[in-house]
Every structure is written in C-alpha cells, then in structure tokens.
C-alpha cells in the first residue's frame, strides 16, 4: 500500500525546494540585469561605441627644407598608386588581363595581388601598383569607366630635387622598419606614427625628425559589425611638420661639388662668426631618392661594396692625417709655452735627428731650408722646424693643447653621422696597443702625421678658432625653424674661448698664414686670404727611400689638404679641403680653395650673411 501522507510530504518539500531555486535564479538574473542596465550602463555604452566607431589616423605632411637663401632642398611630391576594391569586381583575373592593355602590370605584381586577396577584406581597397607615372595616370583616367572598382590613390613622398648634391647633409627618409618602431615605442612616439610609413634615416632628416614629422590627425568613422564604413562622424586635420632653413649656401655647395668633379674627397666651409656651415660636400655621392621608395638589393649592394665608399660622409666620418695644415696650431703652442719665440731660428739641412739616435727624419725639401724662424717654418712648411719643436714640447702638452681646438672630439654638429678622429696621447696608446709612448711618435705628431687623425669638419672648425683668435662656436646646420605663424632663429651655441698667455701670438700665426697665401696662388685674389696646405702620407716610406707616386698604387698615394679663410681682416668663410690620393696639397687642393673663396667673396651680388 502507498503511504499517501509520506508522498504528499515529499512532493511538498521538493516543490518548495524547486520554488526556492527558481526564486534564487530569478534573483540572480534580475541582479545581473540591474548590474548591466543600471550600474554598468555607461561602461558598456562606451564599449559599444568603440565597436561601432573606428578612429582612422591621418598622416601629416612632412616639413620642407631650404637653404639660407630660401632655395628648396627637400620637398614633398605627389605619387600615385592603382587600387582595387575586390567586392566591386566580378572577375578580378579577367579585369587584370584587360587592365594590362592600358597599364603594364608585371607577373610579380599580379601574383602578389592574387595572393594578398586571400587574406583581405573584400570591401577594403588594396594596392595593385605603386609609383604610377603621370602618363599612366592619364591613360587610366581616360579608361576608368571600363574598370569599375579600380581607382587612383594619390599621396605625398619625399623628393630631393638636387639628387646627390646634398645627400650627406640632408640624409634621406625611408620606410619604417622594426628597429625604427622599437625606438619610437621606447620614446613614446609610436602613436604619432600610426599613419606614417616613412621616417628620417640619416642626416638632417633624422636629426630633426621631431620637427619635420608633424602631428597626425584622425577620422572618426561609424562602421558595422563587419568593419564596413557607414559614415564619417568627425574629422581632425593633421598638423604639418615645420619647415626648416639651413645655414647652407646652395650656390657654394654646387661650386664645391663641381670642383671635386667626382674625385674622392671632401670640402667643408664654415662661417667663423657663428659656426654656421656654408657647404659640406662628400664625394663620391649617391642619389637619396632611390631610398625613398625602397632601393633594390642589387643597387644597395653596389653602393655598399664600392671601393669609393659613397655611403660614407667623408666630411664628418672620414679620418685623415691633418699633415701640415696643423703646423700653425703646433707653432702657436710653441710660442705660448715659450719653447720658441718669433725670433728663434732652427737650422734645417734637410733632416732632423733625435739627439744620440742615428735615424734621420727627412724634411720634404731634401736639401733643406737653411735657417728658419716660426714665420718661415709655416710659410715654407719646414718639417725640420716642427720635428724640433715637437721634441722640445712633448706629447702631453701637444695633446692637451690640441684638444681645445676640438681635435679628438666630436664637434657636436647637428647630424648623427660623425666620428671623433684621434688626438693621440700616452694613455690612448697604452689603452689601444698596450705599448709605451716613444719619442719617435711625438716627432710624427709634430707634423700632423702618425696616430693623429681628423675629419674635414674638425679641421675647418680648428682653423676657424685660429681665425677668430680663440673664439669658438659649435658648428651647426640649422638656421631657422618656421611654421604657419612663427619663424624662430636657431640659437648660436658659443663655447668657452681658447685662452693663451700672450694674445699677440694669435697675430703672429695668422700673419704667417696670410704670408703663405700670398706666396701661393692668392696674391691676385682681390682680397686678403690666409691658408696652410698639407700633404699627408697614406703609408710610411723607409728612411732612405724616395716617395714616387708613379710607382705605387693609386689608393696609397698622398692625400692633398688645405685650410684657408678670407677676408683676412674680418673672416666670413673658413675652408677645409681634402682630396684623397691626389698628391701635393698646394698644387692640387690649392686651386680648389682659391676657386671656392672667389665664388663666395667675389660673387656679383655678394653681401655678408
């Protein structure tokens, strides 16, 4: 028999339990609804808007670069690409066949497109061909009605109208790579490059990237759940990069490149009144425009492996023995340290010997100069005089004194590609070679040879300090920054001067450099100039051997150097010229310096800038 009372009690307990569970679940559901609809309403509303509103960054236009007279050096030119919206084309392969009759589409471009379409949203445009010529754009425009879904997209790309003339100063822009992205992320700048494909890679373009790049704008677009744009809700225009004006004189730059005529070497011209660089040429050079759109592996390999090393900025990275161009600095040290006086004379029989040592250090003039004082030693570039002076002065004083003129240190010029050169010392040799310093090392340094190396920019800067009688400026390329409303001059970075014991010694050295110019090719210049030539050995000649350029390889021949400034009374330009393996400095580099000074000082409409 069934116990109806027990069954009724069990059913009642189960019904109550079920009811309680239902009430609890309904409570949880209502609680969640309250949480979602009331407490978290604003949060989910924002998330919903984020899902349907897409922010599209808009790249800014890059700032332009001008020379000191407003001549355009780097601009932005329009470029055109052919694009396709896949969903608007029924048969893409057939359409490409037909399109090839209007615009040449290579097999690689076709295959790349078809492969990319596998992973591409059909309502978004995809690029078929970059860098269309104006003729191709015109031909497509006439036939565009035949190709629904195809269109021309325009953009801006950097362009250097003077090609290789300014490559080593301006540098170039190129596509942002992983290394660039990591650097931008580390500096917190990556959000500003969301719409930008290119970035400064070298030179001014890299150093002043923050000024030239500008600030991106953005579009706020309403999209559906598949990402298709429905409408544009808001547009914020980008801020273009700032235009910058450099201290360069384009006309002088052209003249310098013309004078080098493709030879390996460098020319640097500085305004000694403020350190502004008037010209900076490195030869051979290359066209930076090929890097803007992406240089081919073959073309880059040719540049990289060329024996002429066109990728090196010889003006700031080339390291050369300064040779006789630094004899005025050595003489100034001798006078200042009272090792010699203006009347001190040294006998030059064509050689010099360390006391008690048989080896002879030869003068360039094998029969010697006879009795020579400091003026004659500079004018005639008497090696024997400076062998003796270096021996009496010592490397410690030479090294410390020359460091004040910037030797062995980066000048601080506003491009990143710069070498420090080498001003040798006892400590340097010990660290570099684990060897002691010998007297013979000092003798070589006394004529600007041995371990001493300098860049053309350092050489020009050190000569400017001589011309300024100790006043020093940091060499710079930036003159003015300009945007839509304001033009700001770059501050001049003046350094503590080189102080010597007797200021009259400046005049003695500069007078000797003026006499050197008169002795050479500057006597009929129409202005007074000062100069010092140099011939730097690339390899050492044995004591009893004679240097013969005709019997040695071209790349082992002497380098020709010259430093010069003018007008002598109030200098406005300082030059340093280095011609690799050209031979005698006065004969080969001298005419180059003379032509450049004439170009700058005697030009028809010349006025000091």
Alpha-carbon Rg for the chain, nearest whole angstrom, is 36
The DSSP secondary-structure symbol of 166 reads: G
Largest Cα–Cα separation, the chain:
148
Three-state DSSP class for residue 346 = strand
Bridging pattern class, strands 65-66 and 243-246: parallel
Is 369 annotated for ligand binding? yes
Instruction: Please tell me the total number of residues recorded for the chain in this structure.
Output: 609
Three-state DSSP class for residue 194 = coil
Secondary-structure breakdown of the chain: helix, strand, coil percentages, each rounded to the nearest 5: 40, 20, 40
Is 145 annotated for ligand binding? no
Q: How many angstroms separate the Cα of 190 from the Cα of each of 53, 158, 193, 194, 352?
A: 22, 20, 5, 7, 63
Which residues share a beta bridge with 158? 76
Nearest-CA neighbor of 250 among 43, 89, 72, 409?
72
Neighbours of 397 (CB within 10 A): 16
CA distance linking residue 296 with residue 288, whole number of Å? 13
Is 348 annotated for ligand binding? yes
CA distance linking residue 269 with residue 253, whole number of Å? 9
Q: Which of 266, 282, 283, 324 is catalytic?
A: 324
Is-catalytic flag, 133? no
CA distance linking residue 418 with residue 54, whole number of Å? 44
| Edge-to-edge strands, sheet with 53-58 | 53-58, 217-223, 229-236
Is 363 annotated for ligand binding? yes
Binding-site annotation: residue ranges for Zn(2+): 348, 363, 369, 382
Which residues are marked as active site?
324
Binding-site annotation: residue ranges: 348, 363, 369, 382
């Amino acid at each position: 028999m069934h116990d109806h009372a027990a069954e009724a009690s069990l059913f009642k307990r189960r019904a109550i339990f079920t009811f309680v569970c239902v009430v609890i679940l309904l409570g949880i559901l209502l609680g969640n609804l309250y949480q979602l609809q009331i407490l978290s309403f604003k949060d989910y509303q924002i998330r919903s808007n984020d899902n349907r509103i897409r922010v599209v960054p808009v790249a800014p236009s890059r700032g332009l670069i001008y020379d000191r007279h407003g001549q355009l050096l780097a601009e932005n030119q329009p470029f055109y690409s052919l694009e396709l919206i896949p969903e608007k084309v029924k048969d893409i392969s057939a359409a490409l066949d037909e399109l090839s009759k209007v615009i040449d589409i290579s097999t690689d471009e076709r295959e790349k497109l078809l492969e990319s379409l596998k992973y591409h949203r059909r309502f978004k445009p995809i690029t078929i061909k970059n860098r269309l010529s104006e003729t191709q754009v015109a031909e497509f425009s006439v036939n565009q009605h035949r190709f629904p879904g195809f269109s021309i997209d325009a953009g801006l790309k950097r362009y250097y109208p003077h090609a290789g003339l300014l490559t080593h100063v301006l540098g170039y822009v190129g596509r942002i790579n992983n290394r660039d992205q990591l650097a931008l992320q580390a500096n917190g700048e990556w959000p500003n490059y969301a719409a930008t494909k290119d970035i400064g890679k070298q030179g001014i373009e890299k150093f002043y990237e923050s000024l030239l790049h500008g600030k991106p704008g953005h579009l706020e677009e309403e999209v559906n759940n598949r990402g298709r744009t429905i409408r544009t809700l808001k547009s914020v225009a980008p801020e273009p990069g700032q235009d910058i004006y450099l201290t360069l004189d384009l006309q002088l730059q052209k003249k310098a490149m013309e004078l080098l005529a493709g030879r390996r070497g460098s020319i640097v011209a500085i305004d000694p009144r403020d350190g502004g660089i008037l010209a900076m040429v490195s030869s051979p050079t290359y066209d930076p425009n090929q890097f803007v759109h992406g240089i081919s592996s073959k073309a880059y390999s040719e540049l990289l492996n060329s024996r002429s090393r066109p990728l090196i900025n010889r003006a700031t990275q080339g390291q050369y023995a300064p040779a006789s161009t630094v004899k005025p600095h050595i003489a100034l040290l001798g006078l200042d340290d009272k090792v010699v006086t203006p009347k001190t004379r040294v006998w030059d029989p064509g050689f010099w010997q360390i006391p008690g040592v048989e080896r002879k250090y030869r003068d360039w003039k094998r029969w010697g100069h006879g009795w020579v004082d400091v003026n004659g030693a500079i004018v005639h570039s008497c090696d024997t005089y400076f062998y003796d002076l270096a021996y009496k002065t010592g490397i410690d004083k030479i090294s410390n004194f020359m460091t004040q003129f910037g030797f062995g240190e980066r000048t601080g010029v506003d491009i990143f590609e710069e070498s420090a050169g080498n001003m040798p010392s006892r400590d340097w040799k010990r660290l570099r070679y684990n060897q002691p310093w010998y007297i013979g090392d000092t003798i070589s340094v006394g004529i600007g040879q041995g371990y001493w190396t300098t860049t053309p920019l350092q050489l020009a800067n050190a000569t400017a300090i001589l011309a300024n009688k100790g006043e020093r400026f940091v060499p710079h390329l930036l003159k003015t920054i300009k945007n839509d409303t304001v033009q700001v001059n770059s501050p001049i970075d003046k350094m503590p001067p080189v102080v010597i014991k007797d200021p009259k010694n400046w005049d003695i050295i500069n007078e000797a450099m003026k006499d050197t110019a008169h002795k050479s090719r500057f006597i009929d210049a129409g202005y007074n100039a000062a100069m010092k030539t140099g011939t730097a050995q690339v390899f050492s000649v044995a004591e009893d051997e004679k240097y013969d350029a005709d019997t040695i390889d071209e790349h082992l021949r002497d380098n020709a150097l010259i430093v010069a400034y003018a007008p002598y009374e109030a200098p406005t330009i300082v030059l340093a010229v280095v011609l690799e393996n050209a031979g005698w400095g006065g004969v080969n580099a001298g005419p180059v310096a003379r032509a450049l000074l004439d170009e700058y000082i005697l030009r028809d409409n010349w006025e000091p800038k």
